[in-house]
């Protein structure tokens, strides 16, 4: 057999798909069977507790003052006040710290966190 025939034969073998039992799945492919109902998104902000009415009034007053700084006759009504979720903040801080371990001069932004629901 000539060298070019051997090369063509080798090239054809290399282009064949490997058998399915030898393929290893990537971690993303392995998660495809997991249903979305098992995971719940952790909110970045949660509604403020109703028991602190004085704090809510102060926040509303400050927000209305900032909104009307341009001097026009505007009215502002604050209907909902949310506060940062401490669980989201702690997890995001830990994840960004772990990710920044190799590159200390880098910046990371955590946009979403999902939590596995208990059965």
Torsion angle of C-alpha atoms 53, 59, 60, 64, degrees rounded to 10:
160
More confident position, 97 or 23: 97
Confidence band, pLDDT 50/70/90 cuts, at residue 103:
confident
Average pLDDT over residues 11-33: 57
Of the candidates 89, 16, 75, the one whose C-alpha atom is nearest the C-alpha of residue 46 is 89
In the chain, where the domains are located? 37-119
Percent of the chain with pLDDT over 70: 66
Q: Could you give the angle at the alpha carbon of 109 between the alpha carbons of 107 and 110, nearest 5°?
A: 140
Q: Assess contact for 80 and 47: CB atoms under 8 A.
A: yes
Enumerate residues 6+ apart whose C-beta is below 8 A from 114: 39, 40, 41, 42
Three-state secondary-structure class, residue 40: strand
More confident position, 20 or 51: 51
More confident position, 2 or 69: 69
Average pLDDT over residues 28-36: 57
């Amino acid at each position: 057999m000539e060298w070019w025939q051997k090369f063509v034969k080798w090239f054809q073998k290399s282009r064949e798909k490997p058998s399915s039992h030898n393929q290893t799945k990537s971690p993303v492919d392995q998660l495809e069977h997991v249903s979305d109902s098992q995971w719940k998104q952790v909110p970045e902000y949660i509604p403020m507790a109703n028991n602190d009415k004085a704090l809510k009034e102060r926040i509303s007053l400050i927000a209305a003052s900032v909104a009307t700084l341009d001097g026009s006759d505007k009215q502002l009504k604050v209907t909902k006040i949310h506060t940062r979720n401490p669980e989201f903040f702690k997890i995001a801080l830990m994840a960004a710290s772990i990710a920044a371990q190799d590159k200390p001069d880098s910046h990371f932004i955590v946009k979403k966190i999902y939590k596995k629901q208990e059965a």
